[in-house]
């Protein structure tokens, strides 16, 4: 019988065929045999084989210097690229000798960024698309959610994976603790931007549909993503058209003073200055949601988002 560990082979000759019954190495049951294995780190007791011999598979080491109690110390951190195999026996993170470099971000302290073994490019190759966020902004009643749904259906029909982050839907869960005051609106956009960023990293085409009235917050979301991963779509529909539609009855309540801080009424809406796509009325007539969705899909196709 031969047992291979890493690049090393341990060859044992059983005394008889009946001895191959119950030797256990890790979780693999192997036959017990009478051989000299202690020199290789194996200890056979009865029918149990225990080993303290761990060999890392294709392990690479990187060195860092960290400061502990004011003193510098050398730290070794194992790393793997996307082509490496990670051994189940790699216990170096529990040895006490490896000290990761911690950082502070906002109110979070002593945190470490853990690099994934599967990269964004790997996921995009699997999905055959480029992850991006399509940020649809505009006044209430401009048709953002309707276009987002049409866009999701159109991309799904082409075999592309999407997810819609609708402003109202997100406020049912993740952002239900936020009001419509200016500071809470800014936090609402920040959180949605961070979630969209995760979807983009996953290789998903994320469709964010929300008023997002302030230019600064939208630009901040753009800045947090790699160049080209943020596609801003303006629903350029005049206020009087949106108010005439009033699908939720919100304009009527805002005009009556029952809703405060409503975008376009008593709170400003700042349209984008350089959005990638502008969807507007054609000669005074509103295009259908599917027509608007086709405009966005054409942009994605032309710029290589619909292939890896």
Q: Which residues are catalytic?
A: 212
DSSP state, residue 116: P
Mention every residue, 6+ apart, whose C-beta is less than 8 A from residue 116: none
Measured CA to CA, the distance from residue 46 to residue 19 in angstroms comes to: 11
Helix (H) or strand (E) holding 233: strand 230-236
Cα angle at 280 between 160 and 290, to 5 degrees? Answer: 35
Closest CA to 25 of 52, 7, 62, 6: 52
Cα angle at 268 between 245 and 232, to 5 degrees? Answer: 75
Measured CA to CA, the distance from residue 168 to residue 181 in angstroms comes to: 15
Helix (H, G, I), strand (E, B) or coil at 217: helix
Measured CA to CA, the distance from residue 67 to residue 289 in angstroms comes to: 57
Question: What are the CA-CA distances from residue 16 to residues 13, 37, 147 (Å)?
Answer: 9, 18, 75
Question: What are the CA-CA distances from residue 254 to residues 192, 265, 282, 306 (Å)?
Answer: 25, 7, 29, 41
Handedness of CA 292, 294, 297, 299 (dihedral sign): negative
């Amino acid at each position: 019988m031969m047992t291979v560990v890493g690049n090393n082979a341990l060859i044992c000759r059983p005394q008889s065929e009946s001895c191959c019954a119950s030797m256990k190495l890790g979780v693999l049951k192997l036959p017990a045999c009478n051989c000299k294995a202690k020199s290789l780190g194996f200890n056979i007791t009865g029918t149990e084989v225990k080993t303290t011999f761990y060999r890392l598979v294709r392990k690479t080491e990187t060195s860092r210097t960290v400061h502990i109690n004011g003193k510098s110390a050398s730290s070794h951190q194992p790393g793997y690229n996307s082509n490496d195999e990670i051994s189940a026996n790699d216990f170096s993170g529990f040895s006490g000798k490896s000290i990761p470099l911690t950082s502070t971000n906002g109110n979070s302290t002593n945190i470490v960024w853990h690099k994934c073994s599967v990269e964004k490019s790997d996921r995009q190759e699997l999905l055959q698309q480029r992850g991006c966020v399509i940020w649809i902004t505009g006044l209430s009643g401009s048709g953002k959610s309707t276009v987002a749904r049409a866009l999701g259906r159109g991309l799904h029909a082409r075999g592309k994976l999407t997810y819609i982050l609708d402003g109202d839907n997100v406020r049912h869960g993740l952002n239900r603790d936020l009001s419509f005051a200016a500071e809470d609106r800014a936090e609402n956009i920040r959180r949605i931007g961070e979630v969209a960023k995760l979807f983009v990293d996953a290789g998903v085409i994320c469709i964010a549909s929300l008023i997002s009235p302030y230019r600064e917050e939208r630009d901040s979301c753009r800045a947090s993503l790699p160049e080209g991963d943020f596609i801003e779509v303006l629903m350029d529909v005049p206020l009087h058209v949106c108010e005439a539609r009033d699908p939720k009855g919100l304009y009527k309540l805002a005009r009556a003073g029952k809703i405060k801080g409503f975008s376009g009424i008593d709170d400003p809406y700042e349209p984008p200055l350089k959005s990638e796509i502008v969807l507007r009325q054609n000669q005074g007539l509103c295009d259908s949601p599917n027509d608007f969705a086709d405009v966005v899909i054409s942009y994605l196709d032309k710029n290589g988002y619909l292939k890896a």
